Structure 1
Amino acid sequence: MDSLLSTGWLAEHLGDPDLRLVDASAHPLDPARDAAAEFAGGHIPGARFLDLATLIDADHPAPGMAPDAAAFAARLGGLGIARRDRIVLYDDASHHTACRAWWLLRRFGAEHVAILDGGLAKWRAEGRLIEQGRSGVTPVAFALGQPLTGVRDLEQMRANLDSRAEQVVDARSPARFSGVEADPRTGVAPGHIPGSTNLRYDALLNPDRTWKSPAELRAAFETAGVDLARPIVTTCGSGVTAAILLFGLHLLGLDDAALYDGSWSEWGADATTPKATA
């Protein structure tokens, strides 16, 4: 199974016994939208609702940090999803949250994970079947696999300020990156991690939210000043759109890139970290 699947492919394989379709929609910066209610109102047939917004470490001071392995396994197993299933993710979110779910699944060892190109919007636009309500599932055990090593924390990012061993690529808008626009979270300073590069996440997507071609993806990174031959760590506001950049790198065959999970919500809220504006 490829990492990026077309709506046509999914329509042909919806009935496959080992396929698990997951709605990973979340709207962390849009409280007017209720992802669970929207899922109940209409979703791709057979999909399970991940409730990505609550799949976090609620005890961590930074918002949206990844949960521990046990909590993650309990959530996936409760949805009837096993590690060796073929898992297809989609969303209907402005921040392409399926990429965050893709990163989490890979982080905890899922073996076959893909994203639906264009998500629910493309599926609907093509007039394909929509299902309402929520169906019951039989829980299974989600056996954790080899954990992903490409995760960076605050101290590793602090050490990288001196070593510059990894290029830091920030997925936020230029206005938030430069500090012209205030951060939407209370107590978080404006600006960016010194030495980082800005590549807004939607530069990797077409207007219909499908993914650009590999050549276009490569050009987007290189135009932003990213050397694809050197190590990369992605960041953003809270680790969501950073995963979009990571998936884009994955489509280019670059799977050694890392993600700073705390991202600017953690860095910008810490009084001891340096901030750059420009």
Structure 2
Amino acid sequence: MTALMEAAQLADVLAAHDCRIFDMRGEKAYSQGHVAGAVNVPRATLFSTAYPYACMRLDSDALQRMLRALGVNKDQTLVLYDDRANYDSCRFWWLLAVYGFRNVMIIDGGIDALLEASVSLVSEPPSYAEGDFAFDASVSRQDWLSDHVELQSVVSEKRDTASVLLDVRLPAEFNGQECVAGASYAGRLPNAKWLDFHDTVDKQNANRFKSKAALLALCEQVGLNPSQTIHCYCHAGIRSAHTLFALTQILGFPHVTNYDGSWIEWSYLGLPYESEGLPQDEVADV
């Protein structure tokens, strides 16, 4: 099963599989209209409160309990959509895969693509009995997860082209000119390559992923290839999950990780960094 689907395929997918649909948007947007049967899972519900810094992932037990409470069963297929160019959906997809659940599909283009395909929306939320969802460690993708210890080792290797640190934030974040809310200061990991996550998105096509050919050309421009181990990071591990999806699911790159803590954790821990600018007095939020 491919992890990416077109909005026009939704009816066929629902007919062929026992599905639970997840709307990853905020509560207000969800209440104004969502796909029939979709439950609302805003990004903040997937964050842990066990850390002294923000946006770290829920642990597997907490996520399993949440999914059971939402009526999800272990043999269902999850269908995800959002309004942020797929990146909230990609982080949820990535998190599920890391813990051991692979029957997940993302509607490319999210709500814009659904409206484009004339999919009807409803305002009433569904109600489901508690499910029996469970993760299966035998299919977990722990190899898609990296932490600050592993990335410090990559930093110490200097410019070893076999291992690449890939920053997918905005230019001002990468250059150290903007300190986004949650970070302790501005900057980037030493020797990181840069690819703006937005460059993988086709803004003229409902914010779907760009074509495979366009993504390959972008990787060549940045200096990425499938022989490398590519460690993606951003501000909070969300945009970088989107990049991991593009590299692994569309291009088939075999060795890619997402650093969940990303710049929020790295800067909190005071680890080595580079910066071409200085943190600004005004902290932005994206």
TM-score, with structure 1 as normaliser: 0.90
Distance change in 2, residues 1:95/1:268 (3 Å) = farther
Are 2:37 and 2:125, in contact at CA under 8 Å, matched by a contact in 1?
Answer: no
Are 1:177 and 1:198, in contact at CA under 8 Å, matched by a contact in 2?
Answer: yes
- Counterpart in the other structure of 1:32: none
- Counterpart in the other structure of 2:167: 170
Task: Give me the whole-angstrom Cα distance separating, in 1, the residues matched to 2:183 and 2:63.
Answer: 29
- Counterpart in the other structure of 1:105: 96
- Work out whether 1:198 is the aligned partner of 2:194: yes
Task: Give me the whole-angstrom Cα distance separating, in 1, the residues matched to 2:135 and 2:182.
Answer: 36
Per-residue deviation, 1:119: 0.4
Question: One-letter code of the match for 2:241?
Answer: A
- Counterpart in the other structure of 1:161: 155
- Counterpart in the other structure of 1:227: 225
- Counterpart in the other structure of 1:47: 38
Distance change in 2, residues 1:186/1:85 (3 Å) = closer
Instruction: Specify which of 145, 153, 163 is matched with residue 151 of structure 1.
Output: 145
- The number of residues matched between the two structures is 267
Distance change in 2, residues 1:254/1:94 (3 Å) = closer
Task: Give me the whole-angstrom Cα distance separating, in 2, the residues matched to 1:72 and 1:89.
Answer: 16
Greater Cα offset, 229-238 or 13-22: 13-22
Task: Give me the whole-angstrom Cα distance separating, in 1, the residues matched to 2:90 and 2:223.
Answer: 23
Greater Cα offset, 254-263 or 65-74: 254-263
- Counterpart in the other structure of 1:30: none
- Counterpart in the other structure of 2:20: 20
Greater Cα offset, 223-232 or 171-180: 223-232
Question: One-letter code of the match for 1:252?
Answer: L
Task: Give me the whole-angstrom Cα distance separating, in 2, the residues matched to 1:143 and 1:110.
Answer: 8
Are 2:228 and 2:255, in contact at CA under 8 Å, matched by a contact in 1?
Answer: no
Distance change in 2, residues 1:10/1:186 (3 Å) = closer
Distance change in 2, residues 1:83/1:202 (3 Å) = farther
Distance change in 2, residues 1:175/1:187 (3 Å) = closer
Per-residue deviation, 1:15: 4.5
Per-residue deviation, 1:118: 0.8
Instruction: Specify which of 224, 234, 237 is matched with residue 236 of structure 1.
Output: 234
Distance change in 2, residues 1:83/1:232 (3 Å) = farther
Q: Secondary structure at the match of 2:63?
A: helix
Greater Cα offset, 4-13 or 194-203: 4-13
Are 1:239 and 1:261, in contact at CA under 8 Å, matched by a contact in 2?
Answer: yes
- Counterpart in the other structure of 2:282: none
Percent identity, please: 28
Are 2:230 and 2:257, in contact at CA under 8 Å, matched by a contact in 1?
Answer: yes
Greater Cα offset, 90-99 or 241-250: 90-99
Q: Secondary structure at the match of 1:82?
A: coil
- Work out whether 1:257 is the aligned partner of 2:252: no
Per-residue deviation, 1:95: 7.0
Consecutive unaligned residues of structure 1, counting only runs of 5 or more, are 26-34
Task: Give me the whole-angstrom Cα distance separating, in 2, the residues matched to 1:45 and 1:183.
Answer: 39
Per-residue deviation, 1:61: 2.1
- Counterpart in the other structure of 2:8: 8
Task: Give me the whole-angstrom Cα distance separating, in 2, the residues matched to 1:108 and 1:64.
Answer: 17
TM-score, with structure 2 as normaliser: 0.88
Are 2:231 and 2:257, in contact at CA under 8 Å, matched by a contact in 1?
Answer: yes
Distance change in 2, residues 1:73/1:226 (3 Å) = same
Task: Give me the whole-angstrom Cα distance separating, in 2, the residues matched to 1:187 and 1:3.
Answer: 32
Per-residue deviation, 1:52: 2.6
Distance change in 2, residues 1:223/1:83 (3 Å) = farther
Per-residue deviation, 1:88: 1.2
Task: Give me the whole-angstrom Cα distance separating, in 1, the residues matched to 2:78 and 2:182.
Answer: 36
